[in-house]
Amino acid sequence: MTRVLGRLGGSGTGRIAALPPGLLRAPTAGVAVAVAAYLGVLFGVADVVGSAGALAAAVGLAVLAATASARLVSPRTAVLAAVALLAAGLLGYYLSVPPDVREVFTPTNVVVDALRLLTGISVLRLVRVDAWVLATTPIPTFLAWYLAGRGRHVQAALVAGGTLGFLVLTGDAGVGATLLGVLGVTLAVGLSTLSVPSGIRTQWDTFAALLAVMVVLPATISAFAFGGVVPTSAGSAPGLESSVTGTSESLDVVGRVGLSPAPRFRVESPVKANWQVASYDRYTGSGWVRTGEPDLLGGSVDAPPGETTTVRQNVTALSRLELYPTVWKPVSVAGPTAETAELADGGTINPRVPINTGETVRIESAVLRTSPARLRAAGTDYPDAIRERYTQLPESTPDRVANLTRRVTADAGTPYDAAVAIERYLPRVKNYSLSVSRPDGDIADSFLFEMRAGYCTYFATAMVAMLRSQGVPARLATGYTAGTEVSDGEWLVRAQDAHAWVQVYFPGQGWVNFDPTPAAARETARDRRLQAAEESGAGVAGVAVVTEVVTPGEDTPTPTRTAAGNGSSDEDLSAEVARVIEQGIPGESQSSGDATGTVINTASGATTPTETPIDPAAEGDDGDGSGPLPDRRTTGYAVLLLIGGAAVAHGTGATRRASRTVWLHVQLREGPARDVERAFGRLQALLAGRYRERRPRETPRAYLAAVGADDARMARVLEIYERSRYGDETTREEADEAVRAVDGIVADATPILGRPLRRIAGVARWVRSHVG
């Protein structure tokens, strides 16, 4: 194959269209796989920010340039050109970054930032990752392809592997992509090592077995140790809290989650509200990423553009707290760790140093006072920065999301009405469940069209995606619901209160909360868990303290609009914000609790909110109807395991030994002479294993005598064999006798292993005699 290709390449020498000879050699396949592995990751990134088309063009150009220059340009020139292009590309990237961000770029900062990426910060967090991907991706692609064209496949694999390694360190390359890259690099290195005459022909089985183990072992271990590859067989579900309000800068949407009643913090606040800790702007299709770096707070920040009321909260940590939970929007912080407080790009404030248990922080928030009428009147004149950042959707988002949203919001004339329509639509058509399987595709699309149930992250993600598909700036907010009011104006918040909801931007007003998650079902789930913890006497310190004050039934519905007005009239805005919030939104907007409750009933037939499977431990109904079918990863892994096992078995000679074992134990009848010959062959194989092989010139009789095999049965087999071989025709009876004798000898030699094999042989013989 390689030789043929090589000849084709050789004959083309001198023609401009001819490919460089290095590209026509076998290791190029490995280089191509390794390049494909990192390109797959980067195309995923480009898809999120909508530059996949441009990236494809850039990569295509790079490949063409590399192919063309492989014959013409010296390696030195090519590497220098690549470095220069990379420098130019990065310069272009920095120029594309907004000026206010750009001014912090000093050479030191740039280097430190680049190194920080390697600690596991996704490139998706770069503000202009679209420009970054376009500027950097073609360079290693050019270099790897150029080197492959020059026949330097190992160096080419190094370039591709290094690029993938960068993406592994940033956390953007998953186990699958990484293993694909490892496979490619190994192929390239191995095939170039074996590119000596008859190298591949004699070593392919060893190589294949090695490759199989290299890929299957990590896949297996990550499946069982990290739950990375085979989620369905992974261990226990993560907590809802960690999946929603982790401190990380990205939020992966996971499958089944559990609830933990552990107390987190206590808030003294005049208002009941969602305590927000973070917001996410970039939707990747499989999760959320916060772009940009937080700045040191240093004083206070601006209040939202609309009319606001100041709310002061005292947050007391009941466990180490790495976040400041506040009502939106926090403007200043005082107390321990306040001097390290950082302002995230999205407007939330968090400490760089965690707050210790028992410490109290005073947080001041400017809460927007607004009304549906004002929100309706806000218009769509969004600032460019807001529109660009908060209407982003992956290019690969199916059109049906937008189509569905158009139908749902057909009657809505303003973004506010659209948001309300979606907020009502989702709880009507989807059930609440904590035990769902994470879908393979786009989360929002899968939730809308394939899943029957989900929890807050799914509802909120779907709503943001729907709004963005209509050009309405929206984002995911995470934090905690109000929790339990333990005394007047004091709220106890537990891990299980973790929540995700939606914020929509209104020009001249600011970010306004919407919550599409069915509140009643969510609270039922939470309370069940709490009750269970009490009943089982789980000695969670905080639980005992609060038992007497837990009165789930009396809870008002979770306020969906922290700062929506009374709704009936704009004039009523002078009312205390606290009351506005406590009452929720009357009229059309007062909805969550009762409305969703009834809607769920009608939508899912027999299922009532309380009957919704909510116990995270409840297996079976994972809400998306794909339960009995193994998912794609499991299937892929099984196939991998099968191929790998076969390669290893072949490479280590296990298949040969296995077929030898079967041959030794199982004899089907063919005809007297053949049967006797084979029976004696089996005997001889058995003796060869026990003593030694028969020497080339040794007669069977001399051999048996020499190894001291003087068993009467063996002597009889020998006699029949000799007569069959050198004497008269063998009779059926004699053949049967010989086979039976050898069966007996083999059975005595291998009492345990042989039995099942002989049984199979017996069945096979019986079938044959009755069929034939």
Q: Which of 126, 147, 156, 179 binds another protein (CB under 8 A)?
A: 179
Q: Does 190 bind another protein (CB under 8 A)?
A: yes
Alpha helix positions (H), 536-591: 541-546, 577-583
Q: Which of 64, 118, 334, 753 binds another protein (CB under 8 A)?
A: 118
Q: Does 645 bind another protein (CB under 8 A)?
A: no
DSSP string for 32-85:
HHHHHHHHHHHHHHHHHTT-HHHHHHHHHHHHHHHHHHTTTS-HHHHHHHHHHH
Shortest approach of another protein to residue 242 CB, angstroms? 14
Q: Does 336 bind another protein (CB under 8 A)?
A: no
Q: Does 199 bind another protein (CB under 8 A)?
A: yes
Shortest approach of another protein to residue 173 CB, angstroms? 6
In angstroms, the CA 629 to CA 509 distance is 48
The span of 89-97, 177-185, 472-480, 489-497 binding another protein (CB under 8 A) equals 177-185
Q: Does 196 bind another protein (CB under 8 A)?
A: yes
Q: What angle do CA 747, 750, 753 make, to 5 degrees?
A: 105
Shortest approach of another protein to residue 117 CB, angstroms? 11
Burial environment of residue 541 by CB neighbours within 10 A (0 to 12, 13 to 18, 19 or more)? exposed
Footprint of another protein on residues 125-154 (CB under 8 A)? 154
In angstroms, the CA 145 to CA 160 distance is 9
Shortest approach of another protein to residue 644 CB, angstroms? 11
Q: Which of 63, 124, 189, 482 binds another protein (CB under 8 A)?
A: 189
Encoded tokens for 396 = 């690969």
Q: Does 636 bind another protein (CB under 8 A)?
A: no
Q: Does 439 bind another protein (CB under 8 A)?
A: no
Whether omega for the bond prior to residue 430 falls within 30 degrees of 0, making it cis, is no
DSSP symbol at 21: G
In angstroms, the CA 352 to CA 297 distance is 11
Q: Which is nearer to another protein, 287 or 613 (CB)?
A: 287
Footprint of another protein on residues 226-265 (CB under 8 A)? 226, 228
The span of 170-178, 321-329, 337-345, 735-743 binding another protein (CB under 8 A) equals 170-178
Q: Does 286 bind another protein (CB under 8 A)?
A: no
Residues 6+ apart with CB under 8 A from 244: 251, 456, 457, 478, 498, 499, 500
Beta-ladder partners of 263: 494
Q: Which of 13, 106, 108, 119 binds another protein (CB under 8 A)?
A: 119
Residues 302 and 343 sit within 8 Å (Cβ to Cβ):
no
Shortest approach of another protein to residue 307 CB, angstroms? 44
In angstroms, the CA 625 to CA 629 distance is 9
Shortest approach of another protein to residue 180 CB, angstroms? 9
CA 594 vs. chain centroid, Å, equals 36
Q: Which is nearer to another protein, 211 or 742 (CB)?
A: 211
Q: Does 422 bind another protein (CB under 8 A)?
A: no
Q: Which of 74, 202, 357, 731 binds another protein (CB under 8 A)?
A: 202
> Which among 688, 652, 681 has a CA at the least distance from the CA of 664?
681
In angstroms, the CA 520 to CA 328 distance is 23
Q: Does 691 bind another protein (CB under 8 A)?
A: no
The span of 143-151, 200-208, 454-462, 551-559 binding another protein (CB under 8 A) equals 200-208
CA 657 vs. chain centroid, Å, equals 40
Shortest approach of another protein to residue 34 CB, angstroms? 13
What are the respective helix, strand and coil percentages of the chain, to the nearest 5?
A: 55, 10, 35
Q: Does 173 bind another protein (CB under 8 A)?
A: yes
Q: Which is nearer to another protein, 22 or 174 (CB)?
A: 174
Residues 564 and 512 sit within 8 Å (Cβ to Cβ):
yes
End-to-end Cα separation, the chain, in angstroms: 45
Q: Does 182 bind another protein (CB under 8 A)?
A: yes
Q: Does 203 bind another protein (CB under 8 A)?
A: yes
Q: Does 186 bind another protein (CB under 8 A)?
A: yes
Q: Which is nearer to another protein, 174 or 347 (CB)?
A: 174
- Main-chain dihedrals φ then ψ at residue 87, nearest 5 degrees: -60, -45
Q: Which is nearer to another protein, 192 or 405 (CB)?
A: 192
Shortest approach of another protein to residue 169 CB, angstroms? 6
C-beta atoms surrounding 2 within 10 Å = 14
Q: Which of 165, 354, 630, 645 binds another protein (CB under 8 A)?
A: 165
> Which among 646, 641, 642 has a CA at the least distance from the CA of 205?
646
Size of the site for another protein (CB under 8 A): 41
In angstroms, the CA 758 to CA 474 distance is 70
The site map against another protein for 69-108 (x = CB under 8 A) is ----------------------------------------
Q: Which of 84, 111, 217, 545 binds another protein (CB under 8 A)?
A: 217
Q: Which is nearer to another protein, 121 or 327 (CB)?
A: 121
Q: Which is nearer to another protein, 162 or 336 (CB)?
A: 162
DSSP string for 109-139:
HHHHHHHHHTTT--GGGSTTHHHHHHHHTHH
> Pairing relation of β-strands 431-432 and 453-454?
parallel
Q: Does 168 bind another protein (CB under 8 A)?
A: yes
In angstroms, the CA 157 to CA 161 distance is 6
In angstroms, the CA 611 to CA 524 distance is 10
In angstroms, the CA 253 to CA 286 distance is 6
Q: Does 169 bind another protein (CB under 8 A)?
A: yes
Alpha helix positions (H), 495-556: 519-535, 541-546
Q: Does 40 bind another protein (CB under 8 A)?
A: no
Q: Which of 2, 96, 193, 531 binds another protein (CB under 8 A)?
A: 193
Q: Does 222 bind another protein (CB under 8 A)?
A: yes
Q: Which is nearer to another protein, 190 or 613 (CB)?
A: 190
The span of 204-212, 406-414, 456-464, 592-600 binding another protein (CB under 8 A) equals 204-212
The span of 81-89, 220-228, 273-281, 600-608 binding another protein (CB under 8 A) equals 220-228
| Residues at the site binding another protein, with contacts judged by CB under 8 A | 118-120, 154, 165, 168-169, 171, 173-175, 177-179, 182, 186, 189-190, 193-194, 196-199, 201-203, 206-207, 210, 213-215, 217-219, 221-222, 225-226, 228
